[in-house]
Structure 1
Amino acid sequence: MAKDTVLEQSQADRIAAGAGFIAALDQSGGSTPKALKQYGIEEDAYSTEEEMFGLIHDMRCRIMTAPEFTSEKVIGAILFERTMRGEVNGMPVPTYLWEERGVVPFLKIDKGMEDVKDGAQILKPIPGLTELLATAREFGIFGTKERSVIHEANETGIAAVVAQQFELGKEVIAAGLVPIVEPEVLIDSPTKAEAETILKAEIEKQLDLLDETQNVVLKLTIPTEAGLYDSLADHPRVLRVVALSGGYSTADACEKLSKNEKMIASFSRALAEGLSAQQSDDEFNAALAENINKIYGASV
């Protein structure tokens, strides 16, 4: 499902103006055991990485094929690379998401982060990035996601994170994709509010350097000060500002998000809360529907 201009525009319109949220289905190697444990599968249930990724793929397929997982409430989904290359109901996952569900597919491209320096963690190098972005386009992926982390209100560290995010973002745009820029501020940072003020200023600087062909999505921690990022959402180079759940429970994340009218959700752990491998399909679908409805309600 290689990209064409009409398809790209319809997907861009869905992300920019669609009612709903972006589901994060991109747990990678390090976070997969935790995600499986939350889903009721302990580490002794698998002995190889292949088995582990097979189990998480099954969970993702169960979510993607659930009755409530449609474009009525879910406008996009972020995928792990193995998920992009996998199949659901006999179709490539990105094709299934868009053609069967109306959900815009994104790809997580980061390979983890460097150690903390100046109160922040920048991205590790991404080997084979050019080839990965070309492959993503061939699979019909609309955009990418790359996560850095900010631990404290350190201007040097935050500036480094944001500069790197936008540098990478420009490579993604040059490859014909839309980057989700994700400089996450940790929710338990003792200087969270101050870090967010610095972060906003650094993002504004970088946005103002983009030309009119360069658009991004911003994925940010729900701010301590409600509405802090409204002006970023209004920037002409920003398609959408989405919120990460950052470790908050579904209820807390939705409650905080609902106070930010110009942000929508892009939740991972909160989306899967209460889902279990041991549930019947009816039980699973009901639990997922409840989460989707809560997150949708907070997003609109």
Structure 2
Amino acid sequence: MDKKSLEEIAQKMVADGKGILAADESTGTIKKRFDTIALESTQDSRRDYREMLFRSNDAMQSAISGVILYDETIRQKAADGSSLVSLIEQAGAIPGIKVDTGAKDMAGHPHEKVTEGLDGLRERLEEYFELGARFAKWRAVINIGDGIPSQGCIAANTHALARYAALCQENGIVPIVEPEVIMDGAHTAETCFEVTSNVLTALYTQLDEQNVHLEGSILKPNMIVSGTECSTQASVAQVAEMTLDCFNKCVPKAVPGIIFLSGGQADELATAHLDAINKMGPHSWKISFSYGRALQAAPLKTWHGKPENVAAAQAAFTHRAMMNKLAALGEWDATLEKA
């Protein structure tokens, strides 16, 4: 493991005012997205959609530091025969890859999930490195509910994240560790704070035990928000304060960057939260975004699978990317959304 190379990649991933585009939806997930615009999900339609995003040069060059790909996408060629990986590299961004095989029901733990994919991961990482990936992502799913999450669920998921991270670094790949505390439910922001604190504390204990080089890793967490069905929703200011309070207690200063997942938040709300957090800086880490739906919902709706809509869809993607760029710098304002 070349620690210096890992550190350099991690620093590029959290370059000022840049974030990560999560374009790693599984075939099943992207089918659901395409269903909303009545478009059939085929190899070609999936490629055309992602190629459209990767060729949005203004957004890619100015606001995107890296792109998380799915196994199919990292192997695909654009319509003109060039690899999708090369399009990302030409825009000055770093190709990455999702390597977990999904969250499955956890035996003996009703309503809890454990993420699988460690078997054969070393060999897959070797291949992904050859295909151009320089960072990877593994997502753990932590549900909040009656009596959950259990310590068993937290322990299993954070241990898997640490094993994955160590294997990535062995192969010259920067690990994004993503322990997502899910928004669904009637829980308060205070409960989210408590659960997220427990999960992050367990995660960094496990990463230490597996000798993971923190300076060559990135954290992709949830923000501290109220459950979707909670009657009183935390304000933007409360979310920012509680999120920073949690991280200052639980995330080591050695970590170069924290890139938030949007987790189902509305586009503008995810941007507002990120901006409020950065306006409270400076912080011990770079704080930016790694959004999927919050960057893609607008361009997908605009595109509708029609070639004549590509330019308008790219403009919609560029607008969201630029708004999040400003939020990553703490320079966003709601009035800019209408401009």
Q: Shift in Å at residue 265 of structure 1?
A: 0.8
**Residues 193-219 of structure 1: CA deviation (Å, up to 9, x unaligned):** 321121121123234446474632111
Contact map agreement 1:19 1:75 (CA 8 A) in 2: no
- One-letter code aligned to 1:298: A
Query: Does residue 23 of structure 2 align to residue 25 of structure 1?
Result: yes
Q: What secondary structure is seen at the aligned counterpart in 1 of 2:105?
A: coil
Pair 1:59-2:53 in alignment: no
* 1:204 is the counterpart of 2:194: no
TM-score (norm 1): 0.86
Tell me how far apart the structure 1 counterparts of residues 31 and 310 of structure 2 sit (CA, whole Å).
22
Task: Give the helix-richer structure, 1 or 2.
Answer: 2
Aligned residue for 1:166? 162
Given the alignment of the two structures, is residue 268 of structure 1 paired with residue 255 of structure 2, yes or no? no
- 1:135 corresponds to 2:138: no
Distance in structure 2 (CA, Å) of the matches to 1:146 and 1:8: 17
- The one-letter amino acid paired with 1:245 is S
Structure 1 distance, partners of 2:248, 2:314, is 34
Does the Cα contact within 8 Å between 2:24 and 2:98 map onto a contact in 1?
yes
* 4-13 or 192-201, larger mean C-alpha shift: 4-13
Quick one: distance in 2 between partners of 1:177 and 1:268?
Answer: 21
Query: What amino acid sits opposite 2:325 in the alignment?
Result: Y
Relative to 1, partners in 2 of residues 1:10 and 1:167: Cα closer, same or farther, differing over 3 Å? Answer: closer
Asked if 1:94 corresponds to 2:118, the answer is no
Please, which runs of 5 or more residues in structure 1 have no aligned partner? 47-51
Q: What is the root-mean-square deviation of aligned Cα atoms in Å?
A: 2.5
TM-score, normalised by the number of residues in structure 2: 0.76
Question: Which of 140, 151, 162 is matched with 2:143 structurally?
Answer: 151
Q: 1:148: how far off? A: 1.4
Q: What letter matches 1:217 in structure 2?
A: I
* Alpha-carbon distance change, 111 to 12 in structure 1, aligned in 2, over 3 angstroms: same
Question: Secondary structure at 2:104's aligned position in 1?
Answer: coil
Q: Is the 8 A contact 1:255 1:298 kept in 2?
A: yes
2:293 is the alignment partner of 1:290:
no
- Could you tell me whether the CA contact under 8 Å between 2:136 and 2:173 is conserved in 1? yes
Name the counterpart of 2:219.
218
Q: Give the corresponding residue for 1:49.
A: none
Given the alignment, which residue of 169, 179, 183 partners 1:183?
Answer: 179
SS at match of 1:260: helix
